[in-house]
Amino acid sequence: MLYWAILFFIVAIVAGIFGFGGVASASAGIAQILFFVFLVLFIVAL
């Protein structure tokens, strides 16, 4: 049981580093751009 507690603690620390750093906002911007690019490609393919 202690193993699972330590494992989830490490996962939470890593998620916190990504969440509170600039990585989350940069990833959201890139995902939004890619969404519109693939949306246009989908419409053109129809």
pLDDT in tens, the chain (46 residues): 889 898 998 998 888 887 776 776 777 888 899 999 999 999 999 8
Query: According to DSSP H, which parts of the chain are helical?
Result: 2-20, 23-45
Q: How high is the pLDDT of residue 32?
A: 92
Q: How high is the pLDDT of residue 36?
A: 95
Q: How high is the pLDDT of residue 18?
A: 75
Are 24 and 18 in contact by the 8 Å Cβ rule? The answer is yes
- Spatial distance between the Cα atoms of 34 and 40, rounded to a whole number of angstroms: 10
The torsion of the CA quartet 3, 21, 32, 8, rounded to 10 degrees, works out to: 10
